[in-house]
Amino acid sequence: MSEDKLVGIVLVSHSAEVAASVAELAKGLAGGAASVPVAPAGGTEGGGLGTSSELIAAAAASVDRGAGVAVLTDLGSAVLTVKALLAEGDELPEGTELVDAPFVEGAVAAVVTASTGADLAAVRAAAEEAYTYRKV
Amino acid sequence: MLDADFFRRWMAATAASVEREAERLTALDSPIGDADHGSNLLRGFRAVSAALEKEDPRTPGAILVLAGRQLISTVGGASGPLYGTLLRRTGKALGDAAEVDEAQLTAALRTGVEAVMALGGAAPGDKTMIDALSPAVDALDAGFGAARAAAEEGALATVPLQARKGRASYLGERSIGHQDPGATSSALLIAALAEANGE
């Protein structure tokens, strides 16, 4: 996978602030990951808590470089909305996948891995592996 | 036979009953949810009504697909993708026929309900929409009135259940004793079906 076709990352949270902060955190912790396309899709279009399929679709389109898009979510309607978009419609770019990962740790792992030019499967595996990291 | 007008009446009757019942849905959602079910569905079905008027789809399938898409994009809570998937998948199963019979609608709705179960991972007895929708589809062979009664009965039967899906499941035993808001709005959707049929 060439460096100019990086996997895009979309971070979907019920809260615009959480999504934006986790994006900033992941890029910050990933060091040289400035080039990784990461887009937050948080809250509703009106700025409230919730999920917006339009914000998700716009975020996915904005990070799509042709190498696939990994979507990480927090919970509830965020998960269901992404799944519904993937199952039924044509709103998300081709090669978009929902990644089953913890939101913060998974985002960091995904961004770091994507920054190496890894493909979507490797990005997904790295994010999912974050579940196995025990804190106690 | 059920034509496009029947499906337009169904969506209009659902929107009208959501307007009437929004406060009650939100009140049901207060003790065990985040108190937005009524307002979310209100926003969603107002968008459905506007889109149906603007785009004027001509077949039963196209009407439900458009309605489902509106719900997914405007509701903002879990009920958006769930009801959106229900209507969209039901609409797709109806294909592009100009009219469908009741058996075709029953089969299509069953496909839609199965898609909702797959999406949310809920089974009957989990205190969700499925507890109204699943018995309603089973009763549809006996007519729309029977389906309405089965959905209402199913919604009432969620009161003693402990929630196993969604935000209410975090409450554990404290979710017992409350009627599920999603099952309640599902009963409204099925009642609107009977209403569209003049029952």
- Residue A110 and residue A55 in contact, taking contact as beta carbons nearer than 8 Å: no
Kindly calculate the radius of gyration of chain A based on its CA atoms and give it in whole angstroms. Answer: 13
CATH topology for A8-132 is Rossmann fold (3.40.50)
Report d(CA A5, CA A119) in Å as an integer: 9
Q: Please state the ipTM of this predicted complex.
A: 0.83
Chain A nearest CA to B132, separation (Å):
20
Domains belonging to chain B, first-starting first, are: 2-196 (1.25.40.340)
Tally Cβ neighbours within 10 Å of residue B57. Answer: 18
Q: What pLDDT does B10 receive?
A: 98
pLDDT band at A32 (very low <50, low <70, confident <90, very high): low
Alpha helices, H only, B33-101:
37-55, 60-74, 79-94
Residues of chain A contacting B84 with CB distance shorter than 8 Å = 84, 88
At A70-85, the pLDDT tens digits run 999 999 899 999 999 9
Two structure tokens written together for B112: 């839609």
At B46-92, the pLDDT tens digits run 999 999 999 999 999 999 999 999 999 899 889 999 999 999 999 99
CA nearest A52 in B: which residue?
A: B76
pLDDT band at A33 (very low <50, low <70, confident <90, very high): low
Kindly give, in sequence order, each residue whose CB lies less than 8 Å from that of residue B198, ignoring residues fewer than 6 positions away: none
Please give the single-letter amino acid code of residue B57. Answer: P
pLDDT band at B34 (very low <50, low <70, confident <90, very high): confident
Report d(CA A6, CA A114) in Å as an integer: 6
Contact B72 A54 (CB under 8 A): no
Q: What pLDDT does A1 receive?
A: 45
Contact A88 B76 (CB under 8 A): no
Which of A12, A15, A53, A55 to mutate to probe the B interface, most B CBs <10 Å?
A53
Q: What pLDDT does B99 receive?
A: 97
- Residue B71 and residue B37 in contact, taking contact as beta carbons nearer than 8 Å: no
Q: What is the mean pLDDT of residues A57-61?
A: 97
Q: What is the mean pLDDT of residues A31-57?
A: 89
- Residue A25 and residue A105 in contact, taking contact as beta carbons nearer than 8 Å: no
Chain B nearest CA to A46, separation (Å):
10
Q: What is the mean pLDDT of residues B120-136?
A: 96
Q: What is the mean pLDDT of residues A5-15?
A: 96
